[in-house]
Amino acid sequence: MIGIIDYRAGNLTSVVRALNHLGESCRISDDPITLAQSSHIIFPGVGAAGEAMANLRRTHLDKWIIEWAHAEKPILGICLGTQIIFDYSEENDVQCLGLIPGAVKRFSTNLTHDGSDLKIPHMGWNYVEFRKAHPVFRGLPEGSEFYFVHSYYPVPAQNDLIVGITDYGTSFCAALAYKNVVAVQFHPEKSGRPGLTILSNFCRWGG
């Protein structure tokens, strides 16, 4: 059973649809006792870091997520769920969960590509260059693109945590891995076959 963390950050139904398509059993919950019965945890989300952290603290999910990760059980962060596993986010100037050393920064307002200004938020399909092998990213077709919607991006304190990068006027971390934690800034549940491959790999990964 795949547990999906509900902390009022939206986008949960898209994850459920993707898992259902893969034939994976899943449940959405904000109850740590219910989530603890899962084999894997997905930590998705869209929205603001400050509100997300407030909701996690209110439901005591902040401590539970840390306990789950420290127990070396598989966890997948998606978009906002990726950002708030870091130490700190510039969005709302908030301290986050601290599972991954590093910070989350806002894109500069003067990003350009081929002489044209780039819009913030970064929204749309982009190529991800996977620079190291990892079981969750195995079997992806060459040149795979993924769907992004974000104004902030993760900056791990250690470069060796970075698995994949994307360029949007600047190069940034789009996928990372640390022990039993894997996280992506893009939305695999909205990224067609390559995204489904990632979700399928994660559901079979032992952490």
What DSSP string describes 81-143? Answer: HHHTTEEEETGGGEE---SEEEEEEEPPTT-EETTEEPPSSEEEEEE-EE-S--GGGTTPPTT
Query: What integer is the mean pLDDT of 106-125?
Result: 89
Looking at every residue in the chain, the average pLDDT score rounds to: 95
Model confidence at 194, pLDDT cuts 50, 70, 90, reads: very high
Query: What integer is the mean pLDDT of 82-106?
Result: 97
40 is catalytic: no
For residue 10, pLDDT beyond 80: no
Model confidence at 109, pLDDT cuts 50, 70, 90, reads: confident
Model confidence at 8, pLDDT cuts 50, 70, 90, reads: confident
79 is catalytic: yes
Where in the sequence is the domain holding 73, given as residue range(s)? Answer: 2-204
Residue carrying structure tokens 């990224």: 191
Domain count, the chain: 1
24 is catalytic: no
Query: What pLDDT was estimated at residue 115?
Result: 77
- 34-53 pLDDT per residue, tens: 999 999 999 998 889 999 99
Query: What pLDDT was estimated at residue 9?
Result: 80
Residue carrying structure tokens 């969750």: 136
In order of 33, 114, 188, 194, the CA distances from 199 in angstroms are: 24, 34, 7, 9
CB neighbourhood size of 102 (10 A):
19
Model confidence at 69, pLDDT cuts 50, 70, 90, reads: very high
Model confidence at 110, pLDDT cuts 50, 70, 90, reads: confident
Query: What pLDDT was estimated at residue 11?
Result: 76
Verdict on whether the full-model pTM lies above 0.85 = yes
Query: What pLDDT was estimated at residue 31?
Result: 94
Out of 40, 122, 150, 187, the active site residue is 187
For 31, which DSSP code?
Answer: -
Q: Which residues contact 39 (CB under 8 A, 6 or more apart)?
A: 1, 2, 73, 74
Query: What pLDDT was estimated at residue 113?
Result: 81
Query: What integer is the mean pLDDT of 109-121?
Result: 86
Out of 91, 122, 189, 203, the active site residue is 189
- 130-172 pLDDT per residue, tens: 999 999 999 999 899 999 999 999 999 999 999 999 999 999 9
Residue 142 belongs to domain with CATH number: 3.40.50.880
Query: What pLDDT was estimated at residue 112?
Result: 85
Contact 143, 127 (CB under 8 A): yes
Query: What integer is the mean pLDDT of 8-26?
Result: 92
Token reading at 64: 């539970």
User: In this structure, which amino acid lies at residue 53?
Assistant: M
Out of 26, 79, 96, 203, the active site residue is 79
For residue 176, pLDDT beyond 90: yes
